[in-house]
């Protein structure tokens, strides 16, 4: 990841914008339907280049026991669009924003959970003064984590989201319809058991020039 490789997208802390995930720039589909799992978002200071204990989690959503669905199943209904806001207490500055979608369709085998990370550079306007604790990536996951070693084809009643704790528990995020309006939006940001080997396209977040980690798994 090269912190000098892209332009910054200007966002205001606390002000919602629309983040969109897609299989590719030519596809309106979010992800292969069998690729169920959680979604997380991290930030790191731009000057760190993403290296060291610098990443802190600002959003996570996994399994809803009421609907019995993983969060990315909700995003499938909105073609990958979600409304999101950076916490107001995050200080102003330039950041790397890392989004992660984890697919658990083969996660009953150790090491088979699939990671789809993407990264955008943002310039944050804020009056916040918080100092979030950072973590290194790679290093936040283990293939033995309960949230990465799970049989989603069995009766799932609860789910432990992998990785470090989320910085703030007060965030709200809402999937939005394709027609939904928003003041700030990234320009280019049954009974039968399903098959364990569905198609595996890689979703991307649409940004001007996303800086993308190409490696799929980040355990150690």
DSSP per residue, 128-171? ----PPPB-SSSS--TTSTTTS--TTS--------SSPBS-S--
pLDDT of amino acid 29? 75
Give the span between the Cα atoms of 19 and 99, in whole angstroms.
10
Q: What residues contact 7, with CB distance under 8 A and at least 6 apart?
A: 121, 208, 209
Does 69 reside within a domain?
yes
Query: According to the model, what pLDDT value does residue 8 have?
Result: 83
Is 212 part of a structural domain of the chain? no
Tell whether 167 is covered by a domain: yes
Show the CA angle centred on residue 162, arms to residues 160 and 163, nearest 5°. Answer: 140
- 66 Cβ contact partners less than 8 Å away, ≥ 6 residues apart: none
The model's pTM: 0.76
Question: What CATH number corresponds to the domain at position 105?
Answer: 2.70.50.70
Q: Are the C-beta atoms of 37 and 149 separated by less than 8 Å?
A: no
Give domain status of residue 17, yes or no. Answer: yes
Answer yes or no: are the C-beta atoms of 56 and 165 closer than 8 Å.
no
Number of independent structural domains in the chain: 1
> Does residue 213 lie within any of the structural domains?
no
**pLDDT tens sequence for the chain (220 residues):** 455 555 789 999 999 999 888 877 777 777 888 899 999 999 999 999 999 999 999 999 999 999 999 998 998 888 888 899 999 999 999 999 999 999 999 999 999 999 999 889 999 999 999 999 999 999 999 999 999 999 999 989 999 999 999 886 444 545 555 454 444 444 444 444 444 444 444 444 443 333 444 445 545 4
Indicate the DSSP class of residue 195.
Answer: P
220: in domain: no
Domain assignment present for 1: no
Distances (CA, A) of 11 to 43, 126, 162: 13, 9, 27
CA angle in degrees (0–180, nearest 5) for 168-164-213? 105
> Is 217 part of any domain?
no
Helices (H) and strands (E) in the chain, counts: 1, 12
Rounded Cα distance, 99 and 79, in Å:
16
Tokens 């330039």 locate to 94
CA distances from 19 to 11, 67, 98, 149, 219 (A): 12, 23, 12, 28, 26
User: Is-contact 13 91, C-beta < 8 A?
Assistant: no
The domain in which residue 156 lies consists of 9-176+186-205
């Amino acid at each position: 990841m090269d912190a000098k490789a892209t332009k910054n997208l200007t966002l205001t802390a606390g002000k919602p914008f629309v983040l969109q995930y897609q299989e590719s720039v030519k596809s309106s589909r979010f992800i292969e339907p069998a690729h169920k799992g959680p979604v997380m978002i991290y930030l790191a200071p731009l000057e760190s280049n993403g290296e060291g204990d610098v990443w802190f989690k600002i959003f996570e959503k996994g399994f809803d026991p009421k609907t019995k669905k993983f969060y990315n199943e909700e995003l499938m209904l909105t073609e990958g669009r979600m409304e999101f806001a950076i916490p107001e207490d995050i200080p102003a500055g330039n950041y790397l924003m890392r989004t992660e979608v984890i697919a658990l369709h083969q996660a009953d085998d150790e090491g088979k959970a699939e990671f789809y990370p993407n990264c955008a550079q943002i310039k944050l306007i804020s009056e916040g003064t918080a100092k979030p604790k950072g973590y290194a990536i790679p290093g936040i996951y283990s293939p033995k984590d309960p949230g990465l070693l799970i049989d989603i084809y069995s009766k799932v009643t609860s789910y432990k989201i992998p990785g470090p704790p989320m910085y703030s528990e007060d965030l709200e995020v809402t999937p939005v319809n394709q027609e939904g309006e928003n003041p700030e939006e990234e320009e280019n940001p049954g009974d039968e058991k399903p098959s364990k080997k569905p198609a595996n396209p890689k979703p991307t977040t649409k940004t001007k020039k996303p800086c993308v980690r190409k490696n799929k798994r980040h355990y150690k």
